[in-house]
Structure 1
Amino acid sequence: MTSPAPRIGIVVTDTAFYSDEDPDHDTPILLDALRARGAAAEAVVWHDATVDLAAFDLLAVRSPWDHPERPDEFQAWLERAAASTRVVNAPATMRWNLDKHYLSDLEGAGIRVVPTAYANSVDDVRAALAAHARVVVKPAVSAGARDTGLFDADDERALELATRIIEAGGTAMIQPEVPELSRGWEKALYLIDGRFTHAISKGALLEVGGGLIGGVYEEHPEQVPAYDDEIAFATAVVQAVQTVTGGPLPLYARVDTVRSRAYGLALLEVELVEPALNLHVAPHATDAVVDALLTAATG
């Protein structure tokens, strides 16, 4: 007697959210590949209340990119999903990853992180700005470069942005500019089930003065080589995530790094909620993702 096909939901948002500049490339690729391997796979809009979450063997959170505008609703959805079926990444890990205070946790676990000050008052902001010539200001809870700016530290707009973040109930992060980042040297390494699959460069995003280059958030992903020390570093990051959270090893992770003169090879972010995998740029990684999803759905 053959086992029924595993039913896998690829968690997205409704198509009206996506733009031509920032489409969800991964979901069509994953759906086709999963179906070719015998799975019953479909896209699931996370805020569609009519979906029976318990009908799925696995829900893989992939592109709910509107969740920063609906944080409480997304947190409630994670709770319902976790009570209904298996979810990847683990909901507890995703909750931890939603607030960039996690960088402090990883630094405490021995991971080199770009220096970060967390400001909850205007006095905190002034002190953090005074320590650097040029800074990046952003919220601790954000995505897609929302409310993120690169400024000369004495630019009043830096203080204004940080103050606005705090007055809205958030924490403002202040980091020194890393010149290598402004040259587009950020490198994202992807790990599936803890194993490196590919690396992507997406170019610089921030214009000095608080804006985005070209006026819009637009990535230009290109597959690039990863060196042995970068792969070892990214592997150590996801292992540290498992240690810090006490949860399972993330099924998927994007580890954003920069090699800088000031800080060496350092972590910028680790994205465990909904990173674009850029499978259209690195199609060879599709099999690894599908293998991992099938194992999670049937294991």
Structure 2
Amino acid sequence: MTFDDPDGHDDERTTALDAWHATGINGRPERWDDPGVDWAAYDAVVVRSVWDYVDRRAEFLSWARRVESVTRLLNPAAVLDANTDKTYLRDLGVPIVPTHWSARELPLWDDYVVKPAISAGARDTIRTADRDRAQAHAAALEAAGRTPMVQPYLDMVESEGETSLLYFNRRFSHAVRRTPMLAPGMTAADGVRAQSRTPAPDQVELAEKVLAAIPQALLYARIDLVRLHDGSPAVIEVELTEPYLYLRAEPEAAARLAAALRELISR
């Protein structure tokens, strides 16, 4: 087994590897772009913290397809291809946060969040109540050949928070409440704080509808939900490429991930 980025999320990487080793799975971290790695020597390759794919997406996806031609890749290359461009949200067929995909004719909202469809960690994301600034940022993204996502800022995330549901091999493992990165007084540098949460039945129902629409094997999936102003849940993001899994938020989470990995590589 291998992780792809030995410099990212040390605590979670260590937690996962310890759980793998406890079940007899030998794993070690590797960089995805290291030309010296013999990927065929591994029974499986587990993609984890590929934060640099944003600037190198074509290269990353080409790597994923090459790896998948010689060994098992989790999650699969087709999943990574679809999931690294957030325009996938348009095709989910479930409620999502209202999203305008252009710099033209922005809706009249009190507060805007504008970000590119290919991004990670709130990079190139702004929040503003100024419609002209929102439009200008969206236009700058378009001018750079990037698809803008313009969304209303939902102040319910400050009281309700985002709910992230974690699934390993399609089985629910745990959920966390995540603090909003763009709340007043916070920046991307502050990171995201999370605490264990029991998801509501309507959130579980929505998350499992999303999973049911994905035919490929999934070692891990994180479904991020937020409640709209009417109280109904909506998908804000489906994380299938490089999500933080909050393995320390639930005592059995790492063991569940290890069990899911063993199941998938034993098929």
Counterpart-to-counterpart distance in 2, 1:131 and 1:261: 16
| CA shift in 2, pair 1:184/1:229, >3 Å | closer
Residue aligning to 1:146 = 123
Q: Percent same amino acid among aligned pairs?
A: 34
**Structure 2 SS opposite 1:31:** helix
Letter aligned with residue 229 of structure 1 = D
Deviation of 1:215 after TM superposition, in Å, equals: 5.9
Pairs within 5 Å for 1:94-133:
94-107=80-93, 111-119=94-102, 125-128=103-106, 130-133=107-110
Number of the residue aligned with 1:122:
none
1:233 aligns with 2:206: yes
Letter of the 2:96 partner, please give it.
V
Match of 1:173 among 122, 146, 149: 149
**Aligned partner of 1:9: which letter?**
T
Tell me how many residue pairs correspond in the alignment.
267
CA distance in 1, matches of 2:12, 2:147: 32
TM-aligned CA distance change 1:144 to 1:229, over 3 Å: same
Residue 105 of structure 2 aligns to which amino acid in structure 1?
Answer: A
Q: Offset at 1:14?
A: 4.2
CA distance change for structure 1 residues 180 and 163 in 2, over 3 Å: closer, same or farther? same
- What TM-score, normalized by structure 1, do the two folds share? 0.84
Deviation of the 1:10 alpha carbon: 2.3
1:254 aligns to what SS in structure 2? strand
1:175 deviation in Å? 1.1
Long gaps (5+) in structure 2: none
Contact kept, 8 Å, 2:176 with 2:196, in 1: the verdict is yes
The amino acid across from 1:137 in the alignment is V
Per-residue CA deviations over 1:238-295 (Å, capped at 9, x if unaligned) read: 112x1xxxx3242211101012223611111100001011112223111211011112
Q: Which residue number in structure 2 is paired with residue 76 of structure 1?
A: 62
1:16-43 C-alpha deviation (Å, 9 max, x unpaired):
xx4xxxx343211111111121122111
Return closer, same or farther for 1:214/1:178 CA change in 2, 3 Å cut-off. Answer: closer
| Contact 2:181 2:188 survives alignment (8 Å) | no
Q: Indicate the RMSD between aligned Cα atoms, in angstroms.
A: 1.8
The correspondence for 2:186, drawn from 213, 222, 228, is 213
TM-score of the superposed pair, with normalisation by structure 2: 0.93
Deviation at 1:138, TM superposition (A): 0.6
Question: Which segment is superposed worse, 47-56 or 283-292?
Answer: 283-292
Q: 1:94 to 1:257 in 2, by over 3 A?
A: same
Deviates more, 1:28-37 or 1:176-185: 176-185
Counterparts in 2 of 1:250 and 1:168: CA distance versus 1, 3 Å? same
For the Cα contact (< 8 Å) 2:122–2:188, is it kept in 1? Answer: no
Q: Structure 2 vs 1, CA of residues 14 and 160 (structure 1 numbering), >3 Å: closer, same or farther?
A: farther
Residue 159 of structure 1, CA deviation: 2.3
Structure 2 partner of 1:265: 233
Correspondences of 1:14-93 after superposition (within 5 Å)? 14-15=6-7, 18=8, 23-93=9-79
**One of 250, 261, 264 as aligned partner of 1:296:** 264
Offset of residue 182 of structure 1: 4.0
Runs in 1 of length 4+ with deviation above 6 angstroms? none
Residue identity in the other structure for 2:113: V
Unpaired runs of at least 5, structure 1: 1-7, 120-124
What is the aligned partner in structure 2 of residue 3 from structure 1? Answer: none
Secondary structure of the equivalent of 2:47?
Answer: strand
Separation of aligned partners in 2, 1:186 and 1:53:
36
The CA distance in 2 between the partners of 1:100 and 1:263, in whole Å, is: 24
**Deviation digits for residues 172-216 of structure 1, max 9, x if unmatched?**
1111221212446111111112221111122011156xxx71461
- Distance in 1, matches of 2:97 and 2:231, equals 7
Name the SS for the 2:34 alignment partner: coil
Cα offsets for 1:66-98 (capped at 9, x unmatched): 221322221221121111111011110111011
